[in-house]
């Protein structure tokens, strides 16, 4: 797929078909992640690929923790967290993305973000849909404890065959123009 087409047509997918994603394709998505730039070439990214019971255990924990939080702070403070949890429940694959950097650099997490963007674009080029899910931060400690790794969670990425594909940036998520977001100094 042409890069410009991939950049313009990739969209967040929030509805997935009940159809398995072959591990071979998941591996291609992860390999694309490993081509990302990283701070001092530290390749701080790590991935936990969840399907089946492992995914169910994680999303059950996420939902439980959200319910506990909701009782404390009230529904109106929960934002999109429950919806994101439902998407993780529906998607056939959820990839938990970690920052394994141990230098304490701010830049370590940017390496991981770059890897995630590569994942989204590669998945799109394979006809797969993704959703970058930051809502896990609502209950991040519980999810880290559940998965029990010596790293910091950066995001979850839902992955699967899209059930509905938005048309482009103009369909619900318009983009600011270059003139709105950039200045040129000389
Ligand atoms: C850091 C980050 C966190 C995000 N977290 C969520 C999330 O928790 N739930 C969700 O539905 N979308 C999430 N998104 C997706 C954004 O809502 C989406 O990228 C944005 O609305 C633009 O739409 P598009 O991806 O279709 O172009 C996140 C995106 C980023 C980059």
The pLDDT value recorded for residue 170 is 62
The pLDDT value recorded for residue 169 is 58
Domain assignment present for residue 128? The answer is yes
The pLDDT value recorded for residue 101 is 96
Q: 131 vs 9, 17, 72, 74, 95, CA distance in Å? A: 14, 14, 28, 26, 10
Ligand 1: atom nearest CA of 14 is 11
What pTM value is reported for the model? 0.96
Q: Which residues line ligand 1 (CB under 6 A)?
A: 11-12, 14, 80, 84, 131-135, 173
Domain assignment present for residue 98? The answer is yes
Name, in order, each residue with C-beta under 8 angstroms of 1's C-beta and a sequence gap of 6 or more: 124, 125
Range of the domain at 72: 3-181
For ligand 1, mutation pick of 7, 12, 129 (most atoms within 8 Å of CB): 12
Residue 172 pLDDT > 90: no
Domain assignment present for residue 90? The answer is yes
What are the pLDDT digits (tens) for 97-106? 999 999 999 9
- Mean pLDDT for all residues in the chain: 96
Domain assignment present for residue 186? The answer is no
The residue whose C-alpha atom lies closest to atom 28 belonging to ligand 1 is 132
Number of domains in the chain: 1
Q: Which helix (H) or strand (E) holds 133?
A: strand 129-133
For ligand 1, mutation pick of 134, 157, 159, 173 (most atoms within 8 Å of CB): 134
Residue 159 pLDDT > 70: yes
**Of residues 148 and 169, which shows the higher confidence score?**
148
How many CA atoms lie within 13 Å of 137's alpha carbon, on the beta-carbon side? 8
Rounded to an integer, what distance in angstroms lies between the CA atom of residue 144 and that of residue 174?
34
Residue 53, domain CATH = 3.40.109.10
What are the pLDDT digits (tens) for 35-68? 999 999 999 999 999 999 999 999 999 999 999 9
């Amino acid at each position: 797929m042409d890069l410009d087409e991939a950049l313009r047509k990739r969209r967040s997918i929030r509805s997935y078909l009940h159809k398995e994603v072959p591990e071979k394709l998941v591996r291609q998505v992860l390999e694309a992640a490993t081509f990302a730039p990283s701070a001092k070439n530290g390749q701080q990214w790590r991935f936990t690929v969840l399907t089946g019971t492992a995914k169910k255990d994680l999303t059950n924990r996420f939902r439980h923790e959200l319910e506990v939080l909701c009782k404390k702070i009230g529904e109106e403070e929960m934002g999109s967290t429950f919806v994101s949890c439902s998407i993780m429940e529906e998607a056939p694959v959820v990839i938990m993305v970690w920052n394994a950097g141990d230098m304490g650099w701010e830049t370590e997490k940017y390496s991981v973000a770059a890897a995630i963007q590569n994942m989204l674009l590669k998945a799109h080029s394979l006809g797969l849909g993704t959703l970058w899910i930051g809502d896990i931060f609502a209950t991040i400690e519980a999810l880290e404890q559940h998965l029990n790794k010596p790293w910091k969670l950066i995001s979850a990425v839902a992955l699967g065959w899209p059930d509905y594909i938005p048309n482009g940036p103009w369909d619900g998520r318009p983009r600011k123009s270059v003139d709105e977001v950039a200045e040129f100094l000389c």
